[in-house]
Every structure is written in structure tokens, then in C-alpha cells.
Amino acid sequence: MTTKRFALTPGEPAGIGPDLCLLLARDSHPHVLIAIASAELLRSRAAELGLDITLLEVAPGNWPNQPAPANSLYVWNTPLGAPAISGQLTPANADYVLATLTRAGEGCLDGSFAGMITAPVHKGVINEAGISFSGHTEFLAELTGTEQVVMMLATRGLRVALVTTHLPLKDVPAAITTERLQRVTRILHADLVEKFGITRPRILVCGLNPHAGEGGHLGREEIEIIEPTLEALRRDGLDLIGPLPADTLFTPKYLEHCDAVLAMYHDQGLPVLKYKGFGAAVNVTLGLPIVRTSVDHGTALDLAGTGRIDTGSLRVALETAYEMSGS
């Protein structure tokens, strides 16, 4: 196996992201992990957690080629805007958070990193700093010049991708257009082939309305948009089943014979995914020219600095990034 380099961003400095990176550093890893973070923050949090982790500072021009030993962590030092206190948000560190993401994304684009793994950010405090920010997915799409990306969460035995992401429920029907549905489905299909090595992926597609519209009696989006779009994509060779009622799609009868589910909106598919695999799931951004995975949880400000956290989701994010990069 060829050793590769991956960027690790700790996200919100007042949250559990720095803790996760430090706890992960207790173990040895098959690839080079470089935390793009404030060395000062990591030293302070390690002391707070009672961890003896050696920080090995690196920078462009002297990238390491071998994984760090157990109980050590490579760090590309990125200065904080203000001191970070566990559990206490400050807008003064919004620029710091975005700087870590920018360094990681640009490093993936220039070949320094084979992929990036992200810990959770706090969208609210970044917006309070006067910076319009709706999430990692949208930020990385803009950074990489990608017109359309797809959010997918995965756990063992289930992958769920979304046609729409962070929209109010009242805005979802208007956003389910033929163009959007085609683009999202093609991206999902292509990345299942190219990044997950599935030769002919089978995708189950949810209807938008209860009972997938009940033949038009509970909504006409299935008849007027979803069904014709899926039929056109099938003619191009995509293996698509649906639209199916979401309340029966997520059962073994269907899931045993598919590679991914395409849900129409955030809370249609993700509650099932998180019920099945919370703490052992990964958030994947499809459609980017880079590999990006993330944890499936938030900043957990109340747990920062306590040590009472589980690294399971971050470990799955690492494993998935390795898989997607061909490692």
C-alpha cells in the first residue's frame, strides 16, 4: 500500500474537534495525517484532557512521507484569532476556521493531500462574525469551482444522498426540478463508480410526497418531475428504482439490493441513517474534484475538554477517505 497524506481540520476550536484529533493521535495510522490547526490550541487542549501528545510542526516544502508514531501528531500551524476556551464560542475565530478549510482544500487541489477529513464547524458563530457561511459542502464547492455537489451520509450497510440539503421544508418542492434531480443523480452514480469502485450501482429513489404521491392524489411532483426524470436517466444506463414511498423504502426488502438511497430532502433520509449508525457514520461530499469526508455530528460544546467523547465517526471518516482515494 502506498502511503498518502491527508489533511485533518479540527473545525470549531471551542468544540470537540481538537479533542477528536488529539485522541486519534494516540494510535498509529497507515497514512500521514496532518492537522491544519493552531499548535497553541492543540497543546492547551491536550493539557486539559491530560494527554501526552507530541506535536510535530510541518509546512509546505517539508511534508513528511511517513505516518507519525503513536502519541504524536503532525501539525501545520494555523494561528487562532483569539484564545479558544472549551465550550465558549467567539466570532473572533471564524477566520481561523475558514483558513484551515482553505489550506486543506487548496492542498488537495495542488496534490499535497490525497483528501481532507473535517471535524464539525459551528455555522452560527461564523455568520455572527459577518461571514456568510452555510456549511462545509457549499464552502468547498465554491473553493474548488464546483457548480453542483451532493451531500451523502454513509454507515455500514447504508448510504443516503440528498437532492436538497439545508432548505426550509416549505422551499423543498420548488427545488425539486428536472435539472437538479438529473445532476444530483448523475453525480451520485459517477462517484459510486469512480470513488467507491461499484461497477453498476443500484440507486433507490424516494418520492417527495407521502406514498410517493398516491397516483397524484397526494401531490403531482412524482408524476410531473421525478418519474419522467428517472426514466430519462434509465435510458442512459443508470440503474434506478423508484420513486418509492420513503416510509417503506427503508426496509430490508429494498435495502438489501441497493448501493445507495437518494432522498428528496434532509429529514427524509438522514433520520434513518443516523438511527442506524450514529457515532459510526460519515458525511461525504460527492461531485468535488477532491476527496472530502466528515464526521456525522456537531460541535458538542458541552463535551469539549471533558474527554467524554467517542472517536467512532472520525475513524469511519478516515477509513472512507482512504477508500475513496484508492488506498
Q: 170 among the known binding-site residues?
A: no
Q: 292 among the known binding-site residues?
A: yes
Segment 69-83 shows an average pLDDT of 98
H helix or E strand, kind and range, residue 240: strand 239-244
12 residue type, one letter? E
Beta partners for residue 262, in sequence order: 161, 205
In 3D, which of 287, 326, 289 has the Cα closest to residue 186? 287
Q: How far apart are CA 275 and CA 106, in angstroms?
A: 34
pLDDT tops 80 at residue 327 = no
DSSP result, 142-185: HHHT-S--EEEEEETTEEEEESS-S--GGGHHHH--HHHHHHHH
Largest CA distance in the chain: 64
- Domains of the chain with bracketed CATH: 5-146+289-324 (3.40.718.10), 150-275 (3.40.718.10)
Q: Which residues contact 158 (CB under 8 A, 6 or more apart)?
A: 255, 261, 272, 273, 276, 277
Q: 136 among the known binding-site residues?
A: yes
Mean of per-residue pLDDT scores for the chain: 95
pLDDT tops 70 at residue 82 = yes
pLDDT tops 90 at residue 326 = no
Q: How far apart are CA 61 and CA 39, in angstroms?
A: 18
pLDDT for 162-212, tens place per residue? 999 889 999 999 999 999 999 999 999 999 999 999 999 999 999 999 999
pLDDT tops 80 at residue 75 = yes
pLDDT tops 80 at residue 275 = yes
The single-letter DSSP state of residue 112 is S
pLDDT for 117-170, tens place per residue? 999 999 999 999 999 998 898 899 999 999 889 999 999 899 999 999 889 999
Instruction: Report the length, in residues, of the chain.
Output: 327
Segment 286-295 shows an average pLDDT of 95
Whether 212 and 204 have beta carbons less than 8 Å apart is answered as: no
Q: 31 among the known binding-site residues?
A: no
Q: How far apart are CA 113 and CA 115, in angstroms?
A: 5
Q: 257 among the known binding-site residues?
A: no
Q: Crossing angle of helices 227-235/178-194, nearest 10°?
A: 40
pLDDT tops 80 at residue 1 = no
Supply the pLDDT for residue 134.
Answer: 85
Is the full-model pTM beyond 0.85?
A: yes
pLDDT tops 90 at residue 296 = no
Q: Which residue carries 511517513 as its cell?
A: 66
Which ranges of 27-134 would DSSP assign to H, the alpha helix?
39-49, 94-109, 123-128
pLDDT for 223-271, tens place per residue? 999 999 999 999 999 999 999 999 999 999 999 999 999 999 999 999 9
Supply the pLDDT for residue 238.
Answer: 98
Q: Which residues contact 198 (CB under 8 A, 6 or more apart)?
A: 192, 259
pLDDT tops 70 at residue 319 = yes
Whether 30 and 1 have beta carbons less than 8 Å apart is answered as: yes
C-alpha cell at 82: 483569539
Q: How far apart are CA 235 and CA 212, in angstroms?
A: 22
156 residue type, one letter? R
pLDDT tops 70 at residue 279 = yes
256 residue type, one letter? E
Q: How far apart are CA 254 and CA 205, in angstroms?
A: 11
C-alpha cell at 259: 448501493
Beta partners for residue 72, in sequence order: 54
The single-letter DSSP state of residue 27 is S
Q: 137 among the known binding-site residues?
A: yes
Whether 104 and 116 have beta carbons less than 8 Å apart is answered as: yes
Q: Crossing angle of helices 17-24/39-49, nearest 10°?
A: 80
SS3 state at 139:
helix
